[in-house]
Chains A and B, each alone.
Chain A
Amino acid sequence: MHPAFSVIFLTTLLGAGQGLYLAMVTGQLYAVARFLPVQEDQFYAIGSLVALVLLIAGLVASFFHLGRPERAWRAAAMWRTSWLSREVIVLPIVMALVFAYAVAHWMEWTTPLFQLGAALQVDSTLLLGLLGTLASLALFVCTAMIYAGVKFLQEWHTPLTVSNFIFLGAASGFMLAAAYSAYIGNPLVTFFGTWAVILTLAGLASRLAHLSRNAHLKHKSTVQTAIGVRHRVLFQKAQGATGGSFNTREFFHGQSQAVVDTVRYLYLILVFPIPMLLIGAAYVTESQSLPIAAFFAQFIGLLAERWSFFAEARHPQNLYYQSVA
């Protein structure tokens, strides 16, 4: 498949935004449970606003993918059957909840609404945080299922696509939370950094499993089934166009195998070992800048990872576009 930059930025920015928001809510939950010191409301408010900016940037990127962005509102119609439609519905819900969470913290609407059990004081920020967490997880599933749901793209048609999106998105968000804490000199950097490393390891396991699965993948369609001629020696001589077509532009990445391999090694290094080492080094040296570097290294790596995710997928229609003349 051709890796479109709009979709690369859409999925990585949304992942980081959702992850950062999940990190904020996790931080608050730990504080409620008294595992962590309670933070000022501003800390959560600014963190969620940054998450909202990332979500908006992702949304803007998605418009570059559409031929007719002015009609984008129509895409909410077919949520019964289309994961794309579901994403279009869930994304604004997540954005609204993230915004509401930020506002509730900013305005310090933290008077407990009711009490659960002996000690748990539930206020509006906690309720909004839980709702937002559910919506974020739903958005991860919707985004990933857009790809995992297309059975013809066998490289994508696996639950590993969903786990990759969740773990990698969450990892980059927690990395950003660590970077944010480091930037303002908040001691939570260790907490977020630890979670970021755990999520990165989970992402590594999931992505390696995905790579090894795809390395052994057997494609269902062959040029024989594509045109229905049972002969082992079958070559295309003409594809009905000499200057290319939508079919050659949308479904081929157009790069040499060497480039594809390089990008794969690049992201395997940038997404996994480097940020973890940087976070470890930051823990030892109590550096303020290393977590920030860790986030940027991982995010650039994730852009390469998404590029690679597209380049890996081989669409069966390519069997009809093997040679020009």
Chain B
Amino acid sequence: MTQLALVIDLNVCVGCHACVTSCKEWNTSGWAGPMVDQNPYDGSPTGTFFNRVQTFEVGTFPNTETVHFPKSCLHCEEPPCVPVCPTGASYKRPDNGIVLVDYDKCIGCKYCSWACPYGAREVDEQQKVMKKCTLCIDRITDAKLSERDRKPACVLACPTSARLFGDVHDADSEVSVAIRERGGYQLMPEWGTKPANHYLPRQKIRIHIDQDELTRVDNPLRREDLTDYTGEETLDDVAW
């Protein structure tokens, strides 16, 4: 079985929001109609987004670190949002594991949003139906696009390649290898929702250099002799 998902590398995300804007651009102009923007140029702009980048600060000043944290539907393997939907509008695609909302069936009761611990679902205040990340289902299944373009808009937009996309059930896929080899983890594992999306942790890049590595014997830059000469006879004075 295929389970498509994103793997997000927190180590390289710089919080530029390129994924947010490209997601909104692609999906607001797509087949499912616009994603509303209310007061876009006023005091309290608000609207529907499938993807948001949040920022957290870890530690106490001055020993702090900034973590930029992109957040969207995690396409859980045990999605608690699906069984609660009274209309069947929320469903998980059997062929690729993507969790979707049928906007023509949704009655906007918001019950599924209560049943998602991650706050990944948002009601569109204009269309009055529930919306969430689709992994750009219209794009990744479009056979007319080239292989390279058959990826979610956010993945293509990310300037630091912090977003990987693929099948987490295929052990050899790029995402599976990244999860396996770089400590990929899931959000709120305590709920048993088994999110398909994973996050790669921050890593400290440190080079450890010992003092004797700086002065090691074969170091070509090593000063051969540190003796201060005060006029005594040295080897150079010896006539051979």
Using CB atoms and an 8 Å cutoff, list the residues of chain A in contact with chain B. 1, 65-69, 71-72, 74-78, 81-85, 88, 146, 149-153, 220-221, 223, 225-229, 231, 233-247, 250-251, 315-318, 320-321
List 18 interface pairs A-B (beta carbons < 8 Å), by A numbering.
Answer: A65-B110, A67-B123, A74-B86, A74-B88, A74-B89, A78-B83, A81-B83, A149-B84, A220-B190, A221-B191, A231-B58, A236-B56, A243-B43, A243-B46, A246-B122, A247-B119, A247-B122, A318-B119
A239 CB → nearest B CB, Å: 5
| Contact yes or no, B86 A234, CB < 8 A | no
Cα–Cα distance between A241 and B191 once the two chains are bound (Å):
26
Q: Which of B64-72, B139-147, B170-178, B219-227 contacts A (4 or more CB under 8 A)?
A: B64-72
Q: Are A235 and B114 in contact (CB under 8 A)?
A: no
Minimum CB distance partner of A246 in chain B: B122
The answer on a CB contact under 8 Å between B80 and A229 is no
Please measure, in the bound complex, the distance between the C-alpha atom of A83 and the C-alpha atom of B84, giving whole angstroms: 7
Q: Mark B198-238, 1 if CB is under 8 A from A, else 0.
A: 01011000000000000000000000000000000000000
- Set of chain A residues within 8 Å of B76, measured between Cβ atoms: none
Complex interface residues of chain B between 119 and 139 (CB less than 8 A to chain A): 119, 121-123, 125, 127-129
Please tell me the number of chain B residues within 8 Å of chain A, measured between CB atoms.
62
Which B residues are CB-close (under 8 A) to A149? 84
Contact B56 A225 (CB under 8 A): no
Cβ contact of A152, chosen from B49, B69, B80, cutoff 8 A: B80
Give min CB distance, B221 to chain A, whole Å: 40
The reply to whether the CB of B113 lies closer than 8 angstroms to some CB of chain A is yes
Chain B residue nearest in CB terms to A77: B88
In the complex, which residues of chain A have a beta carbon less than 8 angstroms from the beta carbon of B187?
Answer: 225-228
Closest-CB distance, A312 to chain B (whole angstroms): 14
Chain A residues near B58 (CB, 8 Å)? 229, 231, 233-234
CB of B115 closer than 8 Å to a CB of A: yes
Min C-beta distance of B40 to chain A, whole Å: 10
Among B45, B52, B56, B109, point to the contact of A84 (Cβ < 8 A): B109
A146–B110 alpha-carbon span in the complex (Å): 12
Question: Quick check: B114 and A228 within 8 Å, CB to CB?
Answer: no
Q: Are A81 and B46 in contact (CB under 8 A)?
A: no
List, in ascending order, chain A residues with CB within 8 A of B29's CB. none
**Quick one: CB contact mask for B19-63 with A, threshold 8 Å, 1 for yes?**
010000000000000000001000111111100111111111000
In the assembled complex, how far is the CB of residue A39 from the closest CB belonging to chain B, in whole angstroms? Answer: 39
**Nearest 8 Cβ contacts at the A-B interface:** A67-B108, A317-B119, A67-B128, A240-B52, A243-B44, A81-B83, A85-B86, A75-B86
Q: Give the complex CA separation of A308 and B234 in angstroms.
A: 93
Asked if B159 is an interface residue, CB under 8 A from chain A, the answer is no
Q: Does B16 sit within 8 A of A, measured CB to CB?
A: no
For B53, the chain A residues whose CB sits under 8 A away are 240
A229 to chain B, nearest CB (A): 6
Contacts of B57 in A (CB 8 A): 234-237
Identify which of B48, B55, B59, B190 contacts A246 (C-beta below 8 A): B48
Closest to A221 in B: B188
Given contacts A77-B88, A225-B189, contact A240 B71 (CB under 8 A): yes
A65 and B118: CB pair below 8 A? no
Cα–Cα distance between A233 and B57 once the two chains are bound (Å): 8
Q: Which residues of B contact A150 (CB under 8 A)?
A: 84, 114-115
B87 at the interface (CB under 8 A from A): yes
Output the least CB separation between A224 and chain B (Å). Answer: 10
Q: Which residues in B have their C-beta under 8 angstroms from that of A237?
A: 55-57, 66
Known: A82-B85, A225-B189, A226-B187. 4 other contacts (CB 8 A): A228-B201, A240-B54, A250-B123, A320-B54
| Complex Cα–Cα for A309 and B18 (A) | 40
Cβ of B106 under 8 Å from chain A: yes
B117–A251 contact, CB under 8 A? no
Chain B contacts of A68 at CB under 8 A? Answer: 106-108, 128-129
CB distance from A72 to the nearest CB of B (A): 6
| Cross-interface CB contact of A239 among B54, B88, B128, cutoff 8 Å | B54
- Is the C-beta of B116 less than 8 angstroms from some C-beta in chain A? yes
Q: Is B182 an interface residue (CB 8 A)?
A: no
Q: Are A321 and B80 in contact (CB under 8 A)?
A: no
A227-B69, A320-B119 known; A250-B113 Cβ under 8 A:
yes
CA distance A84 to B71 in the complex (A): 28
Q: Give the distance in Å from the alpha carbon of A238 to the alpha carbon of B53 in the complex.
A: 8
Interchain CB contact under 8 A, B83 and A246: no
Within 8 Å CB of A71, what residues of B? 87, 105-107
CB distance from B215 to the nearest CB of A (A): 37
User: B55: which A residues are within 8 A, CB to CB?
Assistant: 236-238
- B-chain residues with CB within 8 Å of residue A245 when the two chains form the complex: 46-47, 49, 52, 122
Contact assessment for B119 and A321 in the assembled complex, using a CB-CB cutoff below 8 Å:
yes
CA A242 to CA B110, docked complex, whole Å:
23
* Closest beta carbon of chain B to A65's beta carbon, Å: 7
The answer to whether B67 touches A227 (Cβ under 8 A) is yes
Cβ of A246 and Cβ of B123 under 8 Å apart? Answer: yes
